[in-house]
Structure 1
Amino acid sequence: MSSNLRDGEQGTVPDRKGRFLEKSGYWYYMTREGVDIGPFDSRADAEIGVGEFIDYVCSSAPGAAKIIERYRAA
């Protein structure tokens, strides 16, 4: 049976379709903390970027997500 869960994830597969957005011809992805990361020239580049971001956060210290939350748009 195939699963879309990533390493370390449990439970139901989260919706990732709404993670990407286009603004003024550039692509961004949104973190779970609500931070838009970009700009990228294409959606494909943004998809690569989000994968690299997830890898970084997963390999970082446990408090990395809390640091990212400081940049959440008010």
Structure 2
Amino acid sequence: EVSKEHSCYHPRRTGERKCKSVHGCIVDPNLNVLNSVIVKKSEKGILGLTDTTLSSWSQENHQNAQAVLPV
């Protein structure tokens, strides 16, 4: 999170989160969000991560919105 003292971030709306992309390899408990992409799948895989397929949140919401809309 970027503090108010930094001049490099200007929120577009009030209450918008002050986030900025930071490149590096340091991961600590102070991070709010950690986005990652698996670029290469090993032969073993990672239990609970690469052995299951989850539908994306936006697809589920889109389907729910279509069901609610009047025809």
TM over 0.5: no
**TM-score, length-scaled by structure 1:** 0.19
Structure with higher Rg: it is 2
Structure (1/2) with the larger helix percentage: 1
With CA pairs under 8 Å and 6+ residues apart, which has the higher RCO, 1 or 2? 1
| TM-score in terms of structure 2 length | 0.19
More strand by share: 1
